Every structure is written in structure tokens, then in C-alpha cells.
Structure 1
């Protein structure tokens, strides 16, 4: 008889994050997204195999590079389902902003870190410097 070991108390967790880009160029977007994803991985313990999906949204003033193409080039991220969308435009909103919503399987007890970098720290100052236990 084969025994199946199941990790107790694993659940789908959502991790948010955002950054801003100094200019609408492929190089600037790539650099900002790499920095954001580096911070995401540095602040959270997960294997890319645990990722369910990642959606990026960008403000309408960023149109020279898909953020998902940056994520796809990361080691072991080539099978992660990725999506790019344009963020809803709201007057006076933060310009040249890249946001993400990541869904990942994690133990329920694990604290998650939501990276908000550069000028995007103003979007969620309560999440920009610390880990958060619940969404």
C-alpha cells in the first residue's frame, strides 16, 4: 500500500507589489521589474514551482516592454503562467507604475512580504517595509 504524505495547512496566498519606472524604455522597465522580482524572491520563501500565476499591470504610459517577458527569463520561471494587462487609468494616479498580483501555494503560517519600491511605496506604506501575515 502506497502512503501519500500531504503537507498540512498549505493554501493559496496572494502577494502584491509595485514599482515605478523612470522612463518609458525597455531598459528602464526591465531594470525596474528585475529589481521588483529580486525583492519579491528575497523577501519570500517559495519555489517557482509553487507559483500558480502572476499578473502584471502597467499604467498606460508604459508600452515598450512586457513585464512578463522579464519574469519569464528568470531561472525556473519559464513555466509560470504570466499575464500583462493595462492598469485602469485614473487621473492623478502614480505615473509609470508596474504592479503585480502573484498567487502562490504556501504554508498558511508563512508570513508574506509585499514589495513596494521606489515611488510605489506611497501606494501601500503599510506594506512597503514589513511582512504581512494576512492579506
Structure 2
């Protein structure tokens, strides 16, 4: 499952990069404050503050988007749909990918094992996503 987890992590980070680069280019340096709902910003800030208390452990990163969970990444895209039109032709299509990825991620994160069919499904979804959003 380590290879599958690595693929899921790469997907999540690619979504973070897509959001960051797209909103930075279109909105500017204040994109986090201007384009992300207070609820999502507060949740990310809360996670960051909790991690800061554990000084002996490496933290996720310095950018707030690193503390944003997968469902909220989709919500950021939804909230700023006009900026993502060139990449995401249908938000429901994207939502179905995020939903499936999250289900698989949760199984692996809780020491479960995905079936070969689930792994194959993820592979297809990642290929579709990468083909659609490749810049």
C-alpha cells in the first residue's frame, strides 16, 4: 500500500500546487485571504497551531494550503470556479475523483488494504485528472 499512498499524496500535493499557482497568477499574493473561505482558513490555521505546539516533530510546511484537507481543496476550487475553467470542465467530475481518492486514502491511513480493483480505479482516476489538468 506504500506505493498507492505515495500516489495519493502526489495527487493531493498536485491539487495544492494547481490551486496555489492558478490563484496566485489570477488574484495575486493575497489569494489565500481573498479566495478561501474563513471556515477553511480557520481550519487550516487551527491545524498549523496544533502542530506548532509539538516542536520536536517536523511540520507539514509553511503555507496554509499544506494544512488544508482534501475535501476543502475541492471547496476552494468550487469557490473560485471561474479561475479553474481551463482545467476542470465539470466540477461534479472533479468531485467524484476527490470522493473516491478520499475513500481510498482513509482505508490506507487506517492500516487497511485496498483491493486490486480499487487500486486500478485510482490509477484510472489519476490518469484522467493528470490528462485534464496538465499545463
- Structure with higher RCO (Cα < 8 A, 6+ apart): 1
Which one has the bigger helix percentage? 2
TM-score, normalised via structure 2 length: 0.31
Which one has the bigger strand percentage? 1
